[in-house]
Structure 1
Amino acid sequence: MLAVDVGGSSLKGAVVTAAGHTLAPSTRPTGTGAAAVEAITRFLLELADQARAMGVRVAGAGVVTPGTVDEGAGNVGYASNLEWRDVPLRDLLSAGTGLPVATGHDVRAAGLAEQLFGAARGIDDFVLIPIGTGVAAALRTSGHGVVGATGAAGELGHIPVVLDGERCPCGQRGCLEVYASGGGVARRYAARTGVPSRAQDVVARLGHDTAADEVWQDALAALSSGLTTLTLLLDPQVIVLGGGFTAAGDALLVPLRQRLTEQLTWRPSPEVRLSQLGTDAGRSGAAVLAMRQQGITPPPELQSATTSAVVEPASGRPALRTHV
């Protein structure tokens, strides 16, 4: 299978065998509008050529994207970073590659991968929340993903958590990701100090920089408020945090867990874990979607490209043993 995770600036792809071996991982620029669709098509064709060169038969592809995604129809209704509106992505990619293509939502696919292979393995009720420039959530309850009427379920970053708070680019005020995201922390610190900084730089200044401390406390308050609401609505067993924001480590996890315990006064708080699949989760989920489309049961493990593997041969070719 070919698997591609579409981001706002880059495409992350690989060849994933039915046995779970990940081969030829690589990235390409994304582009926007029709150019983005063309870039994905070219990338899939490149990956297919690499697969065949290794003796691997290509049965199909999985592609996951941000935005509002109708998995059944294969359409992307709206993806602002890609400048897409009403894009029949599955049909366009299938026509351009000659392959059956499964399409899906990037964060929901990442949540599926975490449930099968990662931090939520074997858990039916959990949420995955990747926190980077923005914030989204994959909601899984009773083993099934929550999609919503318009395909937009999981927009946790746009839950208002501060009454009449700062304006969000979405047009609302007080959205969670204005305060508790990599972009939000960096922007709010720069606004206070006049010093352009990345979120990780702000975290490094905690304890000896008043502005950094205040911005971080605001981020923790916003995130804990959002997670408290999410817990009361869905009752997850586990909350899995991913994305670059989690590089803060204990500066994030310790006070966040304490805040959740204090805010959920009458019930236990869910366990908060870090993602095990990291930035590969979306791509892994894309591979799972492609396998399921072809009636293939996903393997119990996905192995990285550094693993020695026996690759399934294409029809009529000998098996190729390779160190990848």
Structure 2
Amino acid sequence: MKHVIALDVGGTGMKAALAGADGTLLYEARRPTGRERGTAAVVETILGFAADLRDAGRERFGSTALAAGVAVPGIVDETTGIATYSANLGWRDLPLRTLLSERLGGVPVALGHDVRTGGLAEGRIGAGRDADRFLFVPLGTGIAGAIGTGGRIEAGAHGSAGEIGHIVVRPGGRRCGCGQLGCLEAVASAAAVGRDWAEVCGDPQAGAVDCAKAVESGDARAQEVWQGAVDALADGLTTALTLLDPHTIIIGGGLAEAGATLFAPLREAVRARVTFQHLPSIVPAALGDAAGCLGAGLLAWDLLATEVTA
């Protein structure tokens, strides 16, 4: 059976699969990234996992994977296949595509940014499959974005298109990890909500999930923290829709799991802000934590299609 290797590398763990031509995940596996052992060990773990997936394909389907798609965090040059920088995994200018292709016996390898890769899957087979233009925004420890047009994701001139988390929505506000003050990520990510709620409720272990539960129970303090994050997110999304005019905004990540507790006030806040702009559909992501792996498979099949037509 024809298949490709799909690998989604995270800061602490990796999700992988063998994917069929229709995008179906035929075999799935997970493995720790092992970043506590250092960058060299992380790279070897990635290469070894890919090789194990190749062997699993031979054993199960009697054939070798035709290609591999890999999604990684940080800054990625998808044209050269170099993982330029990852704070989580500690590498700089890593020729990951070349290393993987060599380990896999020369099969072609596509390398993608983790959020853009997840956005590709959401756009083609997930919540954005009926939208010709969409913006995918995962709300987790940070806030990132992927701009989808015509079934493809826009990487930008330097591989950093879609970084909505670093739109300044509260000038002079909390310092962001990027160095700016008042970035969307610094005030509306799951990490930011959790930090604010922990400070208000006095429990240092409290997080964004706890804040959402407190909102649902009618806690006025939690509602104030939550609404502050929703308003900041609405400001950021309004800027994005003004520039991009998307048909659909897809919200994923941990905060999206709050369901109507997030989406009802967020839709209303965005509606209150638009003037001449067209109000987009704001919907939850559909693929969950499988999006990166599914997208990596799509990258691999796209690479093969490009080679055939080249």
User: Over residues 52-101 of structure 1, what are the superposed CA-to-partner deviations in whole Å (9 max), with x where a residue is unaligned?
Assistant: 11124211211011212111100111111111211111011112222321
Aligned to 1:49: 55
Contact 1:131 1:182 in 2 (8 A): yes
1:178-189 pair list within 5 angstroms: 178-189=186-197
Specify the code of the residue in structure 2 equivalent to 1:141: T
Aligned to 1:141: 149
Aligned to 1:198: 207
Q: CA deviation at 1:17?
A: 1.7
SS in 2 for 1:231: helix
SS in 1 for 2:14: strand
TM (norm. structure 2) is: 0.91
Unaligned runs of 5+ in 1: 298-324
SS in 2 for 1:80: coil
Q: How many angstroms apart in 2 are the aligned matches of 1:286 and 1:52?
A: 20
Contact 2:77 2:159 in 1 (8 A): yes
Unaligned runs of 5+ in 2: none
1:1-324 pair list within 5 angstroms: 1-32=4-35, 33-57=39-63, 58-98=65-105, 99-195=107-203, 196-206=205-215, 207-295=217-305
Q: How many angstroms apart in 2 are the aligned matches of 1:154 and 1:234?
A: 10
| Greater relative contact order (CA < 8 Å, ≥ 6 in sequence) | 1
Q: How many angstroms apart in 1 are the aligned matches of 2:244 and 2:184?
A: 18
Specify the code of the residue in structure 2 equivalent to 1:281: A
Q: How many angstroms apart in 1 are the aligned matches of 2:206 and 2:127?
A: 31
CA separation of 1:102 and 1:222: change in aligned 2, threshold 3 A:
same
SS in 2 for 1:294: helix
SS in 2 for 1:183: helix
Q: CA deviation at 1:296?
A: 8.0
Figure out how many residues of one structure are paired with residues of the other and give that number. 297
Q: How many angstroms apart in 1 are the aligned matches of 2:79 and 2:178?
A: 27
Q: CA deviation at 1:244?
A: 1.5
Aligned residues: CA RMSD? 1.7
Contact 2:119 2:291 in 1 (8 A): yes
Q: How many angstroms apart in 1 are the aligned matches of 2:298 and 2:84?
A: 22
Aligned to 1:306: none
Contact 2:120 2:151 in 1 (8 A): no
TM (norm. structure 1) is: 0.87
Give aligned-pair identity as a percent: 45
Q: CA deviation at 1:211?
A: 2.7
Q: How many angstroms apart in 2 are the aligned matches of 1:210 and 1:31?
A: 41
Q: CA deviation at 1:218?
A: 1.1
Q: How many angstroms apart in 2 are the aligned matches of 1:46 and 1:167?
A: 42
